[in-house]
Structure 1
Amino acid sequence: FNSLAAVLRGTGNMAFPAAVTCVGVVILVPASPALIFGWGPFPALGIAGGAVALLSYYVLGCLAFVAYLWGGRSVLHPSLRAVRFRWPLFRDILRVGAVAALVTVTTNLTIIIGTAFAGEFGPAAIAGYGTGARLEYLLVPLVFGLGGPLVAIVGTSIGAGERERALRTAWIGAAIAFILTEAIGLCAAAFPTAWLSLFDTDPRMIEAGARYLRTVGPFYGMFGLALSLYFASQGAGRLLWPLLGAVARLLIAALAGWLALRWSGELLHVFFAQSVGLVAAGLINAAAVAGGAWFGSLTWPWSAAAALQVGVGMTITDHPLHRSGRAAFPHPAPASGNDAHAA
């Protein structure tokens, strides 16, 4: 399901995958309790009913994507008869996909380590931290709404030799992500109880969760900045610096959090360490993109102009779009239909 949706998004068609997902959710939400509890003509399957509803959603979604791809409506017309397994294609996929998986792992490890530190202060602290950190997870699909187009547009632009357009797109997307996530973080910091009370009303849980949101929430904008540039870097095929940013966040949250726990014994200081980790991740990603990491070694001064002037490193033909044996995307032209994003 996700792979087929990614293929369509890669062609520039964001609307159809979004439509399939939205329609599927509208059906899935009532179908799950109907199959669990046995509403109307549906049998009562218990907890298995939820699994049946979810699997049905994925199967029907896959069929919709397959029908669209092979039905002649897509700009991409794959042929199963021409499928050949070629190592260069696997290499291009894995050099981005494997590193992207590591970024996801380090991000989740950061939350796990934070949960372990909160556990030193009892169950209420764990509940408060977990509830507060859940808001960070909800930021991921929000930024992904920007990240999907960023992957496609940045990759297309670099493949066509439009470096300036790729960078401009990345910075615009990063700015939007920063503003959205920072606004959510500031609201959560100002009114933490509004979020926390949705899950529990225990005073100790509310206190711990409020401490987390007031300390880390104001820096959620850096999380949005790092995540959006991570998606843009996927399109550029350059994920070393996003990985380093995620590792830096993990190490700062782990080491500084451990030191804070041992030296002060204050949960607030553990949360400060997590805030510093978010700032580090955002700054590392931004500095790398601004310094020209997509097109070669980092340059000074770190600016978009410097990135465009890099004379060494990745040339147009080094980009995965070319190494796969396919021609680059043509120079952007007035678009219509599914290619309207290129305009």
Structure 2
Amino acid sequence: MTVKTNIAGAVSHPFLEGPIARRIVRLAVPGLLGGLMQSALYIADGWFIGRLGPLALAGVALVFPLFALSVMFSAGAMGGAVVAATARALGRKDHEAAGALVRTALILAISGGVFSAVIVWLFGPALFRLLGASGEVLQVAVDYAAVLFPGIVIVWVFNMLASLLRGSGDMVRPALGLGVSVSVHFLAASLLVAGAGPFPSMGIPGAALSILIGFGAGSLYLAAYLFHINRPEWVQVVGQIRWQQVLTVGRRGAFASVQSVLTVAMAMVVTGYMARIGPQSLAGYGIGVRLELVLIPIIFAFGSASIAMAGANVGAGLRARALRVSWIGSWFAALSVGLIGTGLAVVPGLWSGLFTSDPEIAVTTARYLRFVGPSYTFFGLGLCLYFSSQAMNTLVLPVTGAGLRLAVLLGGGVLLLDRAATDEGTVFLLVAGAMTTYGIFNALALRLGPWRH
């Protein structure tokens, strides 16, 4: 009788009934708008840095994968674990556990941000040298990281607060928070990088500081909404810390972070390949790979919707419906980013023209997009399946897929790339092949394995 009562009561949750595709789209639309705004932040950042010259673009290209790793940790890995845990708790109507997750999320944000900063402080310069940086390019990378990473905890706090809201099914407020971040970032960069009025240009340090100021403003907005303006019933800031919950969510997030590490390792490997060719090629690749950072928020919009819906269904014991949610959300993500990547492969100037007028850099960017652009379809499929796996507790195979993606890139590099004469086209072909392998492996492995029922 108790089970029937719980299930009947849980059906009132809006994620547990009704058409799946329509619900995913409705949930994803605010996330897509937020993703576009986050993409605007990356584009604006690249545009301002591009005004400082090709060496500035090349130096920042060395740091950006590390920044992307922190974003993926805080939003996709640890943040995804918080979204899934919140959705499952609310799906089974356990408001006490959901309230404790607020405190858990803040602890993870602070510890994750501090850990990221310490790692870059200790190993960042050595890593940049290992990737082939020297001279002015190396100095740009060191200067950019020296400002960005001491404040990276701000980015972690923003993404953890957004994850709590997403887990409750609120996709609108995180999108508005990103809008605040982008607007403030653009204003800050206009003053600190470009220089305006009484504000002299701070150059590269100003670009890094502008990102932190933007995310700081977004964090204040989300905190004000979540804890004061319209505090949901389940939100409990003060209370006993559930250390077992911190360990459980942190462990799941840490395992999910392996995917992020492997993804950024791939970006760093390609960055190393391109650094061998020269700064112009590195800058062109840096512009091209920014598209991935623009597309990830779009994938994340569908991934967040899938985690929230699938997690609530898992919490309510509706596994079959949770699986349908996961597949539908993943195919939406694949088609969305695939169309964008293919379109820019046909007209690459629409992308490269946003960042540079240097013809040599633009040629490298165009070559990257023509090789890699269509394969973003498979990247979107594989990454959204990874997000959904956080709700389904089936992360082993998607993480294995990320490892396979890196193995294709490294193995192909050993077989096809001569250290003395690395070819751009071959590098980009390897990148496209690795992405395609990733998406196909994740789809087949999950369909034939833990998701076959």
TM category, shorter: 0.7 to 0.9
Q: Are residues 16 and 75 of structure 1, via their aligned partners in 2, closer, same or farther at CA, if it must alter by over 3 Å?
A: farther
1:171 to 327, 332, 344: 327
1:127 to 266, 283, 293: 283
2:232 to 60, 74, 83: 74
Conservation of the 8 A alpha-carbon contact between 1:253 and 1:277:
yes
Identity percentage of aligned residues: 36
Q: Are residues 11 and 129 of structure 1, via their aligned partners in 2, closer, same or farther at CA, if it must alter by over 3 Å?
A: same
1:114 to 270, 277, 291: 270
Partner of 1:268: 425
TM-score using structure 1 length:
0.75
Q: How does 1:164-313 map to 2 (within 5 A)?
A: 164-262=320-418, 266-293=423-450, 307-308=452-453
1:10 to 162, 167, 180: 167
Structure 1 residues 162-201: Cα deviation after superposition (integer angstroms, max 9, x where no partner)? 1122111111111111111111111122112332233334
The unaligned stretches of length 5 or more in structure 1 are 295-306, 309-343
Partner of 1:315: none
Q: Are residues 31 and 111 of structure 1, via their aligned partners in 2, closer, same or farther at CA, if it must alter by over 3 Å?
A: closer
TM-score using structure 2 length:
0.58
Structure 1 residues 3-43: Cα deviation after superposition (integer angstroms, max 9, x where no partner)? 1111111111111222232234334433553577565xxx7
Partner of 1:337: none
Identify the range of structure 1 (126-135 vs 69-78) with the bigger mean alpha-carbon deviation: 69-78
Matches of 2:397 and 2:222, distance apart in 1:
33
Matches of 2:340 and 2:359, distance apart in 1:
23
Matches of 2:208 and 2:429, distance apart in 1:
40
* Aligned amino acid, residue 174 of structure 1: S
Secondary structure at the counterpart of residue 235 of structure 2? coil
Structure 1 residues 290-338: Cα deviation after superposition (integer angstroms, max 9, x where no partner)? 23426xxxxxxxxxxxx22xxxxxxxxxxxxxxxxxxxxxxxxxxxxxx
Q: Which has the higher helix share?
A: 2
Structure 1 residues 113-134: Cα deviation after superposition (integer angstroms, max 9, x where no partner)? 1122223333332222222222
Structure having the higher Rg: 1
Partner of 2:104: none
Secondary structure at the counterpart of residue 238 of structure 1? coil
Matches of 1:55 and 1:205, distance apart in 2:
28
Q: Are residues 286 and 118 of structure 1, via their aligned partners in 2, closer, same or farther at CA, if it must alter by over 3 Å?
A: same
Kindly state the Cα deviation for residue 265 of structure 1 after the two structures are TM-superposed: 5.4
Matches of 2:347 and 2:173, distance apart in 1:
37
The unaligned stretches of length 5 or more in structure 2 are 1-157
Partner of 1:152: 308
Matches of 2:366 and 2:219, distance apart in 1:
41
Q: Are residues 288 and 158 of structure 1, via their aligned partners in 2, closer, same or farther at CA, if it must alter by over 3 Å?
A: farther
Structure 1 residues 187-217: Cα deviation after superposition (integer angstroms, max 9, x where no partner)? 1221123322333344433333322221111
Structure 1 residues 147-169: Cα deviation after superposition (integer angstroms, max 9, x where no partner)? 22222111111111111221111
Conservation of the 8 A alpha-carbon contact between 1:68 and 1:74:
no
Conservation of the 8 A alpha-carbon contact between 2:162 and 2:174:
yes
Structure 1 residues 131-152: Cα deviation after superposition (integer angstroms, max 9, x where no partner)? 2222122111121122222221
Q: Are residues 26 and 194 of structure 1, via their aligned partners in 2, closer, same or farther at CA, if it must alter by over 3 Å?
A: closer
* Aligned amino acid, residue 446 of structure 2: V
Matches of 2:184 and 2:422, distance apart in 1:
49
Q: Are residues 24 and 192 of structure 1, via their aligned partners in 2, closer, same or farther at CA, if it must alter by over 3 Å?
A: closer
Secondary structure at the counterpart of residue 262 of structure 1? coil
Kindly state the Cα deviation for residue 269 of structure 1 after the two structures are TM-superposed: 2.3
Conservation of the 8 A alpha-carbon contact between 1:129 and 1:208:
yes
Partner of 1:314: none
* Aligned amino acid, residue 205 of structure 1: I
Q: Are residues 200 and 173 of structure 1, via their aligned partners in 2, closer, same or farther at CA, if it must alter by over 3 Å?
A: same
Matches of 2:298 and 2:209, distance apart in 1:
27
Structure 1 residues 262-298: Cα deviation after superposition (integer angstroms, max 9, x where no partner)? 399543222222221111110122123323426xxxx
Conservation of the 8 A alpha-carbon contact between 1:154 and 1:236:
yes
* Aligned amino acid, residue 175 of structure 2: A
Secondary structure at the counterpart of residue 302 of structure 2? helix
Pairwise CA RMSD = 2.7
Partner of 2:92: none
* Aligned amino acid, residue 76 of structure 1: W
Q: Are residues 215 and 32 of structure 1, via their aligned partners in 2, closer, same or farther at CA, if it must alter by over 3 Å?
A: closer
Identify the range of structure 1 (51-60 vs 181-190) with the bigger mean alpha-carbon deviation: 51-60
Conservation of the 8 A alpha-carbon contact between 1:35 and 1:50:
yes
Number of residue pairs matched by the alignment: 291
